[in-house]
Structure 1
Amino acid sequence: MAPFGLVTASVGFLTKSFNVFTCTNTLARVIHAAYRTPVKCLSTQASGPPKRPLNAYLRYVVQQKPVVIRQNPELKLMEVVRKIAHEWRMMTPDKKQPFQDEFIREKEQFEVELQHYQARLTPAQVEQEKLEKKQKNAKRTAIRKKREANTMGKPKRPRTPFNIFMSEHFEGAKGETMPEKLKSLMDEWKILFSNQKQVYTQLAEDDRIRYKNEMKSWEDHMVEIGREDLIREQTMSNRKKKAAETEKAKIKKKPAKKAKSRTVKKTKSSIAKVDKKMKKT
């Protein structure tokens, strides 16, 4: 069976590498990228700020990665990183110090270059950098929330009719590579009769209803445990709107009760005055 996460992307997109790690492999991706590109921590780009230097640990990883791979070619990237991390933990402070000294030296130079770079910026460029920084932070926050939500058991999104068709026929699809299989499945899907597609359309509709019900239960649970930050913005907006309408309705009812109470008090007071006058007479 093909994984449900596959979507109806173009064949050209799927020809790219599928060697993508999960969120637990973030460090490995960083190290891999740092190794592929020679470390030029202080090289200032013409249109961008100077690059931040790698810290002591990352410097050690970049240095040791080719050595460990050469000595252990059977190890996967994550296993290589774990091995290097273990070596770093076992190292004495004296052996770590050269990496730390190099980091401090380049960090000081980086700060000087950064000041020179910022001094050359125009007000418009400063605002543009602030906007880009804000967008990057928002993207990081969104990624972090998505990972947390998945960890907390967020329901999987509903599948499309083609996703369901692909998952059922992926094993027998023509082609050796995944892009070839996907292309053959897309060709088969296009020539299906409408009544054949209707079966998968109904399954997709059932899956959509499943997702809607599970999401409601999951979001209610997130509110109960104080994790409103993980639920959808639209859901949160609807909850706030409903709460505001409820509060507004309560406020409207309260004055009416008070007015009724005042009327009763005035009536009783008037009756008491009449009784008093009658007694005098």
Structure 2
Amino acid sequence: MSFLSQFTRLSSNIGRSYRNALSNSSNVLIPVQIQTINYTKKSAEEKLGIEKPKRPLNPFFRFMTQMTPSLLTKVPGISTKEAIVWSSKHWQQLDSETKLQMKKEYEKDWEEYKKMKAVYEASLTEQQKADIKRTNEEMVSAKQRRKLKIEYKEMGKPKKPMSSYILYTQSRKDVLPSRQLKEYQDKVKSDWLNLPHSERGKFEKQAQDLMKKYHKDMDAWEMKMISMGHLHLVRKKSPRKAKVKIDKEKYQMASLTYVFRLSNHLLGGYRNVFHGRTNWLPPILQTCGYTRKSPEEKLGIDKPKRPLTPFFKFMTQMRPALLAKNPGITSKEAIAWSSKHWQQLDSETKSQMHKEYEKDLEDYKKIKAMYEASLTEQQKADIKQVKEDMVVAREKRKLKAELKEMGKPKKPMSSYFLYAQSKKDLMQSGNMKEFQQKVKTDWLKLPESEKTKYEKEAQDLMNKYKKDIQAWELKMISIGRTDLVRQKPPRTKTVKTQ
């Protein structure tokens, strides 16, 4: 935050009793009523309606807060820079006795503030802390977007053209002077809806031509940004998602995945029903393991599991016996077999399964309601956070697979790993840990002349990699896959503090 921003933000505090002390020491102070300066930016706590104790102004900032109103009254047209210079100059001229008095009062206020802050922090609930954290993150994100918008403007990013309706609105500006804005908007909207298709087509064609020109200008601008190294200004497209074609085969495959995920449930009372009707079903059924964990399982929270529907429970029970009888059977064949035998199952057994499922579902709803009521706000926030982390991790895995598929150049090895690779013959005589220790010891004792060879080789490989990655990124830009191009973080300006 700049010096002026800090001053403006802190100027809403009360000037307290220093005004008289300064009045005796400086002949430029005019006794006027101090007007507080409104600052539109709100803290996260203010946005949430939480009263947070304010940090006391240090002596210098309080001096500036008191001096500014009188200075603006005396010199209304003074610039910000001149006001800061004036305050700094008079602060240096202030006598040490007054400064010492201000410092003592500041230390007293600081002690009171620390006590109030401790009470405030202890009074916050877990939900309030989570809300404050989320609001702060949103404010940081909004700030970054504003900075990025300014940088776009400075770098001459092409402006997106107007739509056909906005172009028509612009052509009707002659209607505005005689009407209020709302009346003008309603009038133009009504005329647009009643406009003949032949007239509307002109504006639509104009908008389409402008959009084509915009796309060309945008591509050229992005290529320019890439060449200048401003990759963070290039559009980042979301990864393309393959269209899902719903057919019977894929639906059955999805069903099998669902069975694997839910197969750790208790099989319930249906086992005896099936065992009496199928002579090949073994008495002890093995459930299929599913490695993926839910957010609750990762956090060690026991969440009640939804009961299997009759059909999925049938598949869960049949699968172990089927795999025992036909070990080499494929998933597709197993699904087809289960679906066929489910259709052949008599209605009496199905009816009994449905009744037991409905009973299990009612029990599940009650247990789920108790579970949700027992969760603390912190647990809910943790579950939400873990879910978001899982989504991010999944997107990273998808992106990694896509980068490999699109042939992204692989980053070369360092000089140390090149040396380790040249010593692979030592691996045959020992285990991995011994090999790593041996190579590490040899590398540290290696003469500089020998080490330089590997460092030069690593440097040559890195130079080649940089050229290859730049060529690959230009290729991705040309085919419209800017989402695969490296994104540099926005540059932050260094703030000089006084």
Shorter-chain-normalised TM-score: which range?
A: 0.5 to 0.7
Between the aligned partners of 2:134 and 2:210, the Cα distance in structure 1 is 39
**Matched residue pairs, number?**
207
- Which residue is 1:35 aligned to? 37
Q: Could you tell me whether the CA contact under 8 Å between 1:162 and 1:189 is conserved in 2?
A: yes
TM-score by length of 1: 0.56
Between the aligned partners of 1:241 and 1:232, the Cα distance in structure 2 is 21
- Which residue is 1:195 aligned to? 198
Greater relative CO (CA pairs within 8 A, separation 6+):
1
**What amino acid sits opposite 2:407 in the alignment?**
E
Between the aligned partners of 2:231 and 2:117, the Cα distance in structure 1 is 39
Q: Could you tell me whether the CA contact under 8 Å between 1:174 and 1:184 is conserved in 2?
A: no
User: 2:227 aligned to 209, 216, 224, which one?
Assistant: 224
**What amino acid sits opposite 2:185 in the alignment?**
L
Between the aligned partners of 2:70 and 2:180, the Cα distance in structure 1 is 34
Residues 1:174 and 1:192: Cα distance change in structure 2 (over 3 Å) = farther
Residues 1:124 and 1:36: Cα distance change in structure 2 (over 3 Å) = closer
User: 1:209 aligned to 209, 212, 233, which one?
Assistant: 212
**What amino acid sits opposite 1:86 in the alignment?**
E
1:166 shift after superposition? 1.8
Between the aligned partners of 2:106 and 2:202, the Cα distance in structure 1 is 64
Q: Could you tell me whether the CA contact under 8 Å between 2:63 and 2:91 is conserved in 1?
A: no
- Which residue is 1:90 aligned to? 86
Larger helix share, 1 or 2? 1
**Does residue 50 of structure 2 align to residue 47 of structure 1?**
yes
Please give the residue correspondences for 1:81-230 in structure 2 after superposition, counting only pairs within 5 Å: 83-91=79-87, 92-94=89-91, 112-173=115-176, 175-230=178-233
Residues 1:130 and 1:177: Cα distance change in structure 2 (over 3 Å) = same
In structure 2, the residue corresponding to 1:247 is in which secondary structure?
coil
Q: Could you tell me whether the CA contact under 8 Å between 1:174 and 1:180 is conserved in 2?
A: no
Q: Could you tell me whether the CA contact under 8 Å between 1:50 and 1:113 is conserved in 2?
A: yes
Q: Could you tell me whether the CA contact under 8 Å between 2:165 and 2:192 is conserved in 1?
A: yes
Between the aligned partners of 2:191 and 2:185, the Cα distance in structure 1 is 10
1:57 shift after superposition? 8.8
Between the aligned partners of 1:234 and 1:163, the Cα distance in structure 2 is 26
1:171 shift after superposition? 3.3
1:155 shift after superposition? 0.7
Q: Could you tell me whether the CA contact under 8 Å between 1:161 and 1:203 is conserved in 2?
A: yes
1:205 shift after superposition? 1.1
In structure 1, the residue corresponding to 2:79 is in which secondary structure?
helix
1:52 shift after superposition? 5.6
Residues 1:227 and 1:116: Cα distance change in structure 2 (over 3 Å) = farther
TM-score by length of 2: 0.34
Q: Could you tell me whether the CA contact under 8 Å between 2:56 and 2:110 is conserved in 1?
A: yes
Between the aligned partners of 2:146 and 2:179, the Cα distance in structure 1 is 33
1:225 shift after superposition? 1.2
Deviations 1:188-222 (A, max 9, x none): 22321122111111111111112211111112221
Between the aligned partners of 2:401 and 2:217, the Cα distance in structure 1 is 22
**What amino acid sits opposite 1:140 in the alignment?**
K
**Structure 2, gaps ≥5 residues long:** 13-35, 40-44, 241-398, 411-498
1:61 shift after superposition? 8.6
- Which residue is 1:271 aligned to? none
**What amino acid sits opposite 2:37 in the alignment?**
Y
Q: Could you tell me whether the CA contact under 8 Å between 1:65 and 1:84 is conserved in 2?
A: no
Residues 1:241 and 1:107: Cα distance change in structure 2 (over 3 Å) = farther
Between the aligned partners of 1:240 and 1:219, the Cα distance in structure 2 is 24
* Identical residues among aligned pairs (%): 18
**What amino acid sits opposite 2:85 in the alignment?**
R
Residues 1:173 and 1:47: Cα distance change in structure 2 (over 3 Å) = closer
When the two chains are superposed, the root-mean-square deviation of aligned CA atoms in Å is 4.4
Residues 1:107 and 1:215: Cα distance change in structure 2 (over 3 Å) = farther
Between the aligned partners of 2:125 and 2:139, the Cα distance in structure 1 is 21
Residues 1:209 and 1:104: Cα distance change in structure 2 (over 3 Å) = farther
1:104 shift after superposition? 5.8
Between the aligned partners of 1:178 and 1:65, the Cα distance in structure 2 is 41
Between the aligned partners of 1:142 and 1:135, the Cα distance in structure 2 is 10
- Which residue is 2:482 aligned to? none
Q: Could you tell me whether the CA contact under 8 Å between 1:154 and 1:218 is conserved in 2?
A: yes
Between the aligned partners of 2:158 and 2:64, the Cα distance in structure 1 is 36
